[in-house]
Amino acid sequence: MKSNFSSLRLVAVFALMACFTIGYAQCDQGNVYGQKGQKTGFAIVFGDSTGQHVVPTSALSLPTFKGGNKAMCRYINKTKKYPVNLKNQKISGTTVVQAKVLKDSTLTDIQVVTSSGYQEFDDEALRVVESFPKMIPATQSCEPQDMILQIPVTFIYEDEVAADKKREEMEKIKKDFAKPITLYFENDRPDPRTKQETTNTEYMGLYNNYMSAKNTYVTSAGKGLSGSQKTNAENAVETFFNDSIQTGYDRLVKLTNYLVEALQDGNHVEFTISGFASPLSNSDYNKHLSARRIESVLNYMSQAHGGVLAPYINGSKPGLTIHKVPEGQVNHSFSTNAVRETVYGLQAAKDRKIVIDRITIK
């Protein structure tokens, strides 16, 4: 009997814990733009539906922004617009907005309770809170309750200037990503002579090995040729290494860096990654090879920056949609079966590739 009573008491404790949430959230403007900044808003539960001050307990949970406190901070920072007139005067300020979160998750009775001293700040803070999506209501013993909260919305001139600069940089990056990113591979890499569609190899290692073999490819491209034909073939391959292979890798690094920032900022990113192979093997083999090439690029992204992108890429964290398209061999044929042309030639080098395109950021 004593054992049964203890079990019931434990169940009750878990039920109470399930209702408990943290009652406030602090926002750091710098978290949004990758730099340190001042606190830009924190929501504090002011009181129950009558305005009486309340403190969270094991039986009482407080209203919560969907996605948590960080999501609320991101929403405020992304939604608010700094009044141009006050920005030009380099004026900062904070407005405190009060709202009642009803049992049905809607917000009502939204009003400014502490003015910043500037009507433009007050109006904008009010607009931001009025635009809030439905929130998770407070609960008392797991039953939804109406509750009042206050949300300071802070406008900091120095942070806004830094944010403007960052936005300009992001716009330049977006324009760059409007063009496809093309990455190139050595013949039958990664993991030659296999039909596996997955690989543990990551693209940076493949790229470094490929660049290290540049002289071999240049020399082999001109093998058997003479005069201007030899010179042209060698120059074309060398230019391809410098202008295409290296440039593609540099753009992959830039995209990966941007993905980290964009996803941590709460954006949704989508792109298509297609794999191709030169037509040396049969179509089935080349599709498997193309799939491995796709995986090697995603492995690079997953391991970069200490693995911060891995949960987005494997789907355990939302925010990133990747469309994989292992096309296989390109619709192209060589005039001969010579190794010089089919392995070391310029056309063969251009056929062995990954293309990342249709990059969208929302």
**What tens digit of pLDDT does each residue of 250-293 get?**
999 999 999 998 898 888 999 999 999 987 768 889 999 999 99
Using an 8 Å Cβ cutoff, are 295 and 245 in contact?
no
Average pLDDT score over residue span 171-198:
91
Taking the C-alpha atoms of residue 269 and residue 275, their distance in angstroms, rounded to an integer, is 20
Q: What does the domain layout of the chain look like in residue ranges?
A: 2-163, 179-361
Q: Quickly state the pLDDT bin for 8 (edges 50, 70, 90).
A: very low
3-state secondary structure at position 114? strand
Q: What is the pLDDT of residue 56?
A: 62
- Determine the Cα–Cα distance for residues 237 and 283; give it in Å rounded to an integer: 26
Q: Is the pLDDT of residue 20 over 80?
A: no
Query: Strand, coil or helix: what is 18?
Result: helix
- pLDDT score, position 11: 29
pLDDT band at 172 (very low <50, low <70, confident <90, very high): confident
**8 A C-beta contact, residue 73 and residue 116:** no
pLDDT at 163 over 90: no
In whole angstroms, what is the distance from residue 150 CA to residue 152 CA?
Answer: 7
Cα–Cα distance for residue pair 316/100, rounded to 1 Å = 34
Pairing mode of beta strands 269-277, 320-329? parallel
Residue 27, amino acid = C
pLDDT of residue 332: 59
Rounded Cα–Cα distance for residues 138 and 144 (Å)? 6
Whether a cis peptide bond, with omega within 30° of 0, leads into 190 is yes
Q: Among the listed ranges 113-122, 164-173, 204-213, 247-256, which one has the minimum average pLDDT value? A: 164-173
Beta-bridge partners for 45: 149
Contact 144, 77 (CB under 8 A): no
The residue type at 165: K
pLDDT over threshold 70, residue 27: no
Residue 58's pLDDT is what?
63
Report whether pLDDT(37) > 70. no
Comparing 44-53, 242-251, 289-298, 338-347, the range with the smallest average pLDDT is 44-53
What pLDDT shows up at residue 7?
35
Which amino acid is it at 159?
D
Whole-number pLDDT of residue 344: 84
Q: Which residues contact 252 (CB under 8 A, 6 or more apart)?
A: 181, 183, 203, 297, 300, 356
- Exposure string of 224-247, with b = 16+ CB inside 10 Å and e = fewer, is eeeeeeeeebbebbeebbeebbbe
DSSP designation for 245: I
pLDDT per position as a tens digit, 315-362: 999 999 999 999 876 665 555 556 667 788 888 899 999 999 999 988
Sheet holding 39-48, edge to edge: 24-28, 39-48, 147-155, 93-101, 107-114
Residue found under tokens 């693209």: 203
With 0-12 / 13-18 / 19 or more C-beta atoms within 10 angstroms meaning exposed / middle / buried, residue 32 is buried
Distance between alpha carbon 321 and the CA centroid of its chain, in Å? Answer: 10
3-state helix, strand, coil in the chain (%, to 5): 45, 25, 30
CB atoms within 10 A of CB 336: 9
User: pLDDT per residue over 212-244, tens digit each?
Assistant: 999 999 999 888 889 999 999 999 999 999 999
Domain range 2-163, CATH class: alpha beta
- Cβ-based neighbour number of residue 5 at 10 Å: 9
pTM of the prediction? 0.65
pLDDT of residue 278: 83
Contact by Cβ (8 Å): 295, 203: no
Q: Give me the pLDDT at residue 71, please.
A: 87
Instruction: Please state the rounded mean pLDDT for residues 81-104.
Output: 95
Question: Phi-psi region for residue 96, left (φ > 0), alpha (ψ -120 to 50) or beta?
Answer: beta
